[in-house]
Amino acid sequence: MDHPEIDQTSKEQSGERAEREKTPAESADQRTADSGSHDDRNDIEMPKPLSEGRPSVAASEKALVRKPRIGDTMPIPTTPPPGPADPSGNGDESADAKSDGGQKRRRRRGGGGGRGTVRGGQAGDGGGRSAEQTKQPKSKGAQPRKGRRGRGRGRSESDGAADATLRERRRGRERNGKPLGRYFMAVQVRPGISQVAVLEGRSLIEHYVSRPADDVTQIHGNVYVGRVQNVLPGMEAAFVDIATPKNAVLYRGDVQYDPGDIEQRGSNPRIEDILKNKQLIACQVTKNPIGHKGARLTQEVSLPGRYVVLIPNSKTYGISKRLPDDVRKRLRGILDRVKPDEHGLIVRTAAENATEEELRADMTMLLDQWEEIAAKAAKVQRPTLLYREPELAVRVIREEFNADYRGVVIDDRRLFEEVRAYVEAFSPELSDRIEYYDPEAEQLSLFERHHIHEQVHKALDRKVWLPSGGSLIIEHTEALSVIDVNTGKNVGKSNLEETVFHNNLEAAEEIAKQLRLRDIGGIIVIDFIDMEIRDNRAKVVEAFRSALARDKTRSQVFDITELGLVEMTRKRIGEGLLTEYSEQCPDCEGRGVLVDYSMLD
């Protein structure tokens, strides 16, 4: 899961996963096939280890695109919702928080949490962003679950007044009784599939697809008891049966262990010393299976709420550095009273204007959730689903909805009621912004009504026109996505350099928009048109970075290379819009050409 709003620390930046696809996956696949296990659940390719393809610390630091800060007119920079289509952040590598550095933060399992199999860890992606992470000394020792469901200390009247101010601050603006806000969300539900569209003004800026009923491939964020099937020392990974048709993969870096449990002591024990075949472990999916690649797991479970992310049995304590000092102090004060000692948490920026009562409610809900998971985990003797992430629409609203949204319209009665009740619980003052769209009573579908339909069509094209006649060609390969910038019909006015420069500036703006809209992640290489003037090159890169800063999904942009290419990475959320809407061409199997073998005859 992704914890959004927390900026990465520079150390963690170095852990930025460039999502390089180049792994010894095929060979591993081969090896396991040969290794004598006849379990065809093992017939998968390895998802790439997140730590691969990582640039140096210095390069990462420099390349990271700084996000808008609180007070900017952006939506709360939240974590993308976890999940498949999930802009989840937690979505994809939502788990990117788990840097190797995170290992240092791991601790032995605290008293909570079921039996040995259930171990918390730091937040999946929380780690990735730069929270102020501190280890809480265990000094406060004995008071177990302080304040937990209780009232904590008594609340004074001035607290009440302060809470009222906070609520007021969160209330959206209105004009003539109509809510104002630059964002708008439309959720269209069809049998087996729902789609969430986010509009800024009237333009579609993000679009997500989910198949809520899919318990096989849309499992990001789910928590399981899994059974270790096969430890692969050569991959520093293990195949784990999680009761889905294919096994999932747990890399060494995502393994949690209690040093007391293993014979082979040492500062960095190997996976084969920690995990044994047939062992049951609690684990959470951080990446959906895609194609032949197995799902990716972590033992560091994290449960996202509206204001905080609970990290069971962890010492992690992160508060977004984007929050002003006084706010952080206030939040820390509240959470110290509310948080049980044995669990960690990350405070989201959405907590800025949350009252104590609301933080407590959020925390309590997550603790209940965890207790239920831990209790189930302690009982089961075979691979079992313990916890299922809520469907996409609910996750997106949990992560993103705030007073900057003038409305959320949902064309499904059941989902509408669920979402409305959810919002009623954490932001009652905004709950009337959740509306039901009755498709029976309306002439047009919800997406047609808001001109989303045609915008999605455009977002599926290979070619994108720029305002002055230039164009982009967006293509995907196994390893990376490539964007070519062309002047096309843009013939300019004064001279070539000027024409090219302006064309590139338009391209920079549009590419940032397209990456977000199309949900393109991983490594991206952009071929801007060559510019003679060094200063112009720098200006284009700068314009590109500032356009990307509006995207809540993390990205890194490296300096333009000798060949005039810009390399970048963008955190992968879902599988990308095109993947969601398409399947491989059966004639050429996606290669795009038909080879005429008859010429060899």
Residues of this chain that bind Zn ion (CB under 5 A): 585, 587-588
User: Can you give the three-state secondary structure of 9-72, one letter per residue?
Assistant: CHHHHCCCCCCCCCCCHHHHHHHHHHCCCCCHHHCCECCCCCCCCCCCHHHHHHHECCCCCECE
Distance, in Å, from the CA atom of 458 to the CA atom of 518, rounded to the nearest integer, reads 10
Q: How far is the CB of 457 from Zn ion (least distance, A)?
A: 20
Q: How far is the CB of 595 from Zn ion (least distance, A)?
A: 11
Burial of 367-380, coded b for 16+ CB within 10 Å and e otherwise, reads: bebbeebbebbeeb
Distance, in Å, from the CA atom of 528 to the CA atom of 507, rounded to the nearest integer, reads 8
Nearer to Zn ion among residue 216 and residue 585 (C-beta): 585
Q: How far is the CB of 193 from Zn ion (least distance, A)?
A: 25
Nearer to Zn ion among residue 325 and residue 478 (C-beta): 478
Nearer to Zn ion among residue 211 and residue 476 (C-beta): 476
Q: How far is the CB of 586 from Zn ion (least distance, A)?
A: 8
Nearer to Zn ion among residue 325 and residue 589 (C-beta): 589
Q: How far is the CB of 583 from Zn ion (least distance, A)?
A: 11
Tell me if 434 sits within 8 A of 416, measured CB to CB.
yes
Nearer to Zn ion among residue 462 and residue 489 (C-beta): 462
Phi and psi, residue 42, nearest 5°: -85, 0
Nearer to Zn ion among residue 491 and residue 588 (C-beta): 588
Nearer to Zn ion among residue 33 and residue 588 (C-beta): 588
Q: How far is the CB of 475 from Zn ion (least distance, A)?
A: 14
Tell me if 89 sits within 8 A of 125, measured CB to CB.
yes
Tell me if 387 sits within 8 A of 226, measured CB to CB.
no
Distance, in Å, from the CA atom of 217 to the CA atom of 579, rounded to the nearest integer, reads 13
Q: DSSP secondary-structure letter at 194?
A: E
Nearer to Zn ion among residue 111 and residue 592 (C-beta): 592
Token digits of residue 234: 């050569």
Q: CA 86: distance to chain centroid?
A: 7
Q: DSSP secondary-structure letter at 191?
A: T
Tell me if 337 sits within 8 A of 143, measured CB to CB.
no
Q: How far is the CB of 587 from Zn ion (least distance, A)?
A: 4
In this structure, which amino acid lies at residue 593? V
Q: How far is the CB of 584 from Zn ion (least distance, A)?
A: 8
Token digits of residue 574: 């879902």
